[in-house]
Chains A and B, each alone.
Chain A
Amino acid sequence: MEATTGPVSGQEGREAPAAAHPCFRPEHEALRQTVRELVARHLRPHARAWEEAKAFPKDVFRLLGEHGLLGLRVPESLGGAGLDWFATLAFVEELHRCGSGGLAMAVMVHTDMALPPLVRWGTPDQHRRFVEPAVRGERVLAIAMTEPWAGSDLAGIRTTARRVDGGWVLDGTKTFITNGAIADVVLVAAKTDPKAGRKGISLFLVERGMPGFRTARLIDKVGMHSSDTGELVFESCHVPDGNLLGEPGRGFYHLMWELLGERLVIAAGVVAMAQEALELAVAHVQSRHAFGRPLARFQAVQHRLADMAARLEAARQLVYWAAWRMQSGLDAVQAVMMAKLVATRTAFEIADEAMQLHGGYGYTLEYDVQRIWRDVRLYRIGGGTDEMLREVISREMGLRPSRTGSEGDG
């Protein structure tokens, strides 16, 4: 195969949207512009190297923190920006064009999975010790729910927290934990009453350096290379009383509440990644010639791109609608589940078609489309599998669940 230079994708030649979406106001667009410039200047140029190194510097968190981007919906009294969901969406969409899905995921786990329960259920002392440094990007967060034997079925976790004088002792193993190696603080779900099912789960803030807590190994993945995925082990790990988050026994419910936001940002993120894949495909078919004309002049190619654009736009509008319901305080369960289900499946299909339209080049590591293809694939699994989402959607439609399953993952 001849040597080629993969097009530097991302910021160049970006198409202006048909019209600013009514939910994004000028302040959101200004924020978007800030993130776009930051990404172009500080992240995009290094993304490929970070992907290859399977790690990115923790300074990225500080950089984002300095620009006020890690606490967009955190109240101003806790150092956040006090903005709304559409600020988050503008940030997430631009961040997902940084050239590394893993980096974007690491940041989302910090800002939209681990941080919201801390803000909502934390004591003033916990806000000071964990939320404020997290918003500044000084302490990186992770959240540990999944175990080797309990994924979607969160109520089935086996990690235990035993009451002792002045605190709790944790024993167990957590797996597939994003930021598992780099996190300074891990929000851990453990059983304080192993017989009580979901009502026996409590949340603990385990800090790096606490005796008995270690990252046992890193797990290699198909995509999301710059993000570390760890297996965490807790062996007689003592956690003081001040590190219990929320009420004992209410952990399951504390987490269920935040999963909605996590899924919304994932849905917005994959739409942005699929948009980039679509733009890469459009650029490629316009420049690549075969049989004496650009690929873009073949109708079979044109119609595939048209289908991709239509499906992506439907997914995007569904995501915005779900975000609007969240923002408006309406019941958003059904909307967010639908948004994530459609967005992730559509994004993977579009990435796959984009790869196909690149021909042999699409399969090489020099072009970026393969990276998007690998990265988006995760989200039909991570953040709630397709299957769990349909379970919730059909339940919301009044169809009885086939078993009294609970819903959880992470």
Chain B
Amino acid sequence: MAVATAGWRLSEEQEAFRRLTRQLAETHIAPRAREYDRTGEFPWDVVQLFREQGLFSLCVPEEYGGAGTDLLTLAVVIEELARVDATASLILAVQELGSLPIILGGDEAQKRRWLPSLATGERLAAFALTEPEAGSDAAAIRTRATRRGDRWVLEGTKRFITHGSIADVVVVFATVDPALGHRGIGAFVVEKGTPGFSVSRVEEKMGLHASPTAELVFDGCEVPLDHRLGGEGEGFKIAMMTLDRSRPAVAAQALGIAQGALDYAVGYLKERRQFGKALAEFQGLQFMVADMATQVEASRQLLYYACRLIHEHGYGRLPAEVNRYAAMAKLFCSDVAMRVTTDAVQLLGGYGYVKEHPVERMMRDAKITQIYEGTNQIQRLVIARSLLG
């Protein structure tokens, strides 16, 4: 009988992307990560590197200048980037997040207008849903969109918007009437420099220091009518469909962080000697890394399977049981990343706690993967809903 391998091995192309990304990450990003984590300056050189290597094209369909690769390829690339630095991987993940509403909700003209420059990385995208008073409860957003003649006028504040201060294209979710709940929400593309759109502050965070997280203010910000994606009241659906598909990117980031911390800790255990032998020879530590490696591999297999399932459904609406897999992958990978990075710090002892070694940064960065793009509590809601009906 033939060997059952269909759909399992990474394709040649996916393996090639993994090799390329690992080489880029180790050569160009790893040596920079500590420095920009310290200064908090956004690494434009990394953006330039991604542009030159065409990595932004992984986020966009082929018809609009994208690479025409699948979701698993993007996940593998994000994983490899996050293995050395989560901030660098987030540059790509946010480009996907900001592009998805246009891919999923835009008409042909809108796609042709915005996607090609996002595919080259010439322009950066952002996704603006969260507000000071509406986080997990996204349907409660208060930013208003009012039709005035041939314009939409936006009024309100968005918070915790990754790349909000540097993005050229921001997809903003706003309601025509809060009383309508999620049915009143629309999705609007706001370009950088539009009058009435400003950045009111950039957050100081525990991790992801070089990734700007901004508060955006819309004060009489006018955009043309054709900047609305989808029909009347379809914005919430677009937002949810986007998040359903972007979860694997966060899971991939978490997986990469965990793998990076594990690899670093293993290298350290082989070098460091105490009590006359390498730390690697102590069984108590061997068992810790065995558990870490096992959890990381389980994360990887769950994520890759979720990516394949989602990919089979194209850009259409995902059935609940497929969404469940995306949510399970995000939940599981991020929880594992937190545990594994915490253990990696432990394995390095005092050295784990100082910035000379990257594991403390990985531990700080891992934490956000349990929170953003749907807290893990929200992931559990998604999973439970599909189990319990």
Contact = CB atoms under 8 A, between A and B. Distances in A.
Interface string A276-307: 00000010011000000000100100110111
B112 interface: no
A305 B384 contact: yes
Given A19-B312, A86-B4, A400 B280 contact: yes
Among A84, A320, A337, A399, find the residue whose CB has the most chain B CB atoms closer than 10 A: A399
Interface stretch (B93-101, B123-131, B217-225, B320-328): B320-328
A390 B384 contact: no
Contacts of B280: 398-400
A136 to B, nearest CB: 21
B289 A313 contact: no
Nearest to A319: B301
B297 A18 contact: no
A338 B297 contact: yes
A327 B4 contact: yes
Interface size range on B against A: 35 or more
A397 B265 CA distance: 12
B294 A324 contact: no
B287 A390 contact: yes
Contacts of A374: none
A250 B384 CA distance: 52
Interface string B367-389: 00000000001011111110110
A310 B332 contact: yes
Interface string B316-350: 00010110110110011000000000000000000
**Interface hub of B5, B266, B294 (most chain A Cβ within 10 A):** B294
A55 interface: no
Interface stretch (B52-60, B69-77, B198-206, B302-310): B302-310
A309 interface: yes
A314 B287 contact: no
Nearest to B280: A399
B354 interface: no
A391 interface: yes
A340 to B, nearest CB: 10
B3 A335 contact: no
A22 B309 CA distance: 10
B4 A397 contact: no
Contacts of B63: none
Classify the interface of chain A: helix, strand, loop or mixed: helix
A387 interface: yes
A307 to B, nearest CB: 6
A318 interface: yes
A314 B322 contact: no
Interface in B75-89: none
A356 interface: no
Nearest to B313: A19
Contact of A390 (B7, B290, B383): B290
A113 B312 CA distance: 38
Given A302-B388, A394-B286, A399-B266, A318 B297 contact: yes
B281 interface: yes
A303 B383 CA distance: 8
Residue from B4, B266, B299, B387 whose CB has the most chain A CB atoms within 10 Å = B4
B286 A390 contact: yes
Given A310-B328, A317-B302, A324 B312 contact: no
A260 interface: no
Range for the number of chain A residues in contact with chain B: 35 or more
B8 A22 contact: yes
A81 to B, nearest CB: 9
B301 A23 contact: no
B297 A335 contact: yes
Given A302-B380, A338-B298, A327 B5 contact: yes
A315 B381 CA distance: 21
B166 interface: no
B278 interface: yes
A303 B266 contact: no
A19 B322 CA distance: 9
Contacts of B8: 22-23, 321, 324, 328
A10 to B, nearest CB: 18
A341 B295 CA distance: 10
A393 B294 contact: yes
Contact of A399 (B269, B297, B319, B384): B269
Contact of B302 (A313, A397, A400): A313
Given A302-B388, A338-B298, A400-B281, A19 B309 contact: yes
A25 interface: yes
Nearest to B388: A296
Contacts of B383: 305-306, 309-310
Interface centre among B299, B322, B377, B380 (most CB of A within 10 A): B380
Contact of B384 (A28, A83, A306, A317): A306
B30 interface: no
B324 A18 contact: yes
Nearest to A386: B287
Interface in A181-196: none
A261 to B, nearest CB: 16
Contacts of B109: none
Interface string A7-39: 000000000001101111100100000000000
A23 B380 contact: no
A212 interface: no
A144 interface: no
A80 to B, nearest CB: 12
A151 B354 CA distance: 43
Given A23-B8, A305-B384, A314-B328, 18 more contacts: A19-B322, A22-B8, A285-B388, A306-B383, A309-B383, A314-B298, A317-B305, A318-B301, A338-B293, A338-B297, A338-B298, A342-B294, A399-B266, A399-B280, A399-B285, A399-B286, A399-B289, A402-B282
Interface of A: 18-19, 21-25, 28, 82-86, 282, 285-286, 296, 299, 302-303, 305-307, 309-311, 313-315, 317-318, 320-321, 324, 327-329, 335, 337-338, 341-342, 387, 389-391, 393-395, 397-402
Interface of B: 1, 3-9, 266, 269-270, 278, 280-283, 285-287, 289-291, 293-295, 297-299, 301-302, 304-305, 308-309, 312, 319, 321-322, 324-325, 327-328, 331-332, 377, 379-385, 387-388
24 contacts: A23-B7, A85-B4, A302-B380, A302-B385, A303-B380, A305-B387, A306-B327, A306-B328, A306-B379, A310-B327, A310-B331, A313-B302, A317-B305, A318-B297, A321-B8, A324-B4, A329-B3, A338-B294, A341-B291, A390-B286, A391-B290, A394-B287, A397-B289, A399-B281
